[in-house]
Amino acid sequence: MLDTISWGEFLKDIGTVLILYYGVVFIRYFRSDFSGFLRKRSKRGLSVSFDRSENGTGVSTMQRVGDLLLEIDQEVIPKAQNKQELIGQLRSILLRSQLPDEPEIRGILISHMLLASKVRHLEITKEELLDILDES
């Protein structure tokens, strides 16, 4: 009977049995640790204002970020003649936007403004943008 089973089939079956065994052991003994890890990770990654929660105005924070980026692209960057003028306009628009000070939102704003300023050859630095965001 053992002559009819090839080594490949034997190793595949042993691997399947081991995966099932350790899966049961993991679920039995580490379920609470794993679910706690998933909950903490989802809170850390998604609880930041990118959900659809509204913050008093009836508009989600992500929608406000999108509107701000659109305003920067259409009104601020095309009208700026030099780097100093761009920095001043960005400072005023960010002061009135009143977005929450979240690292994810700051990252989106910084990367977008760096790219948009390079297109217009008004290349501002990341440090200058961080200073603007720290003021607002």
Question: Has this prediction a pTM greater than 0.75?
Answer: no
Side-chain half-sphere CA neighbours of 131 within 13 A:
7
- Express each pLDDT in 14-24 by its tens digit: 999 999 999 88
Domain coordinates of the chain in residue numbers? Answer: 2-46, 61-135
The two three-digit tokens of residue 126, written as one number: 């990341």
- Express each pLDDT in 89-131 by its tens digit: 888 888 888 777 788 888 888 888 888 878 777 778 888 878 8
Contact by Cβ (8 Å): 30, 42: no
- Express each pLDDT in 32-60 by its tens digit: 887 787 777 766 654 444 444 445 555 67
Does 65 or 41 have the greater pLDDT score? 65
* DSSP-assigned letter for residue 75: I
